[in-house]
Amino acid sequence: MAHMAQELVVGYNPLPAAERVAHYQGLVRSRLIWLGIGVVLLLGLWFWLRDQLDVVQTIWLYVIGLAFSGIWLVMAVILYAGARRALDRINAAKGYAVRVDTQGIEVAGKQVAWPDVASIATVRPPLGGSARLTLRDSAGASVSVPITFLDTLPGTLDSAIRAYSRGSQWIDTSKLGN
């Protein structure tokens, strides 16, 4: 007869978040370069057409010429800041993300015995963002952790939850929406 391990411990995995930070950092750099190219081109265009442009036309030339690059740069900076915050949250997290054993489950420091688990689900936030593993107890309290923070695949975690809870619990993925 095969023996099941005493528990499954799932740690925090900073690698996906670090990769997103690097991606958005490169995007910000690229947007800055394009903004610089735009400024140089606009200066050249203004130098070439300066006798034909008045002050208002010059201002509009710069506003229209730089607005597109500026908007893309601002978006890249916002995405970079969000990725940086996520990585900082992972790096600041103590212990492990999820622990499952025959007694119950612990998610982000909240431990709940199997009889007191109301649901374990993957939920996508309404305004976008990455899906979260959410544990809700019978009293209605809940705690969650982004799935991208986990160093184990959700299917592996679901199998462990089913095994350790003797089939009474599983990860409900119906709330993910597609």
Q: Roughly how many angstroms between the first and final C-alpha of the chain, as a whole number?
A: 40
Quickly state the pLDDT bin for 153 (edges 50, 70, 90). confident
Q: pTM (2 decimals)? A: 0.65
Q: What's the rounded Cα separation, in Å, for the pair 93 and 109?
A: 10
Q: Which residue has the higher pLDDT, 123 or 120?
A: 120
Mean pLDDT of 99-120: 93
> With contact defined as beta carbons under 8 Å apart, do 12 and 90 qualify?
yes
Averaged pLDDT for residues 18-31: 94
pLDDT in tens, 25-45: 999 999 999 999 988 988 888
Over residues 46-74, the pLDDT tens digits come to 788 878 878 787 788 788 878 888 899 99
> What's the CA gap between 162 and 166, in Å, rounded?
6
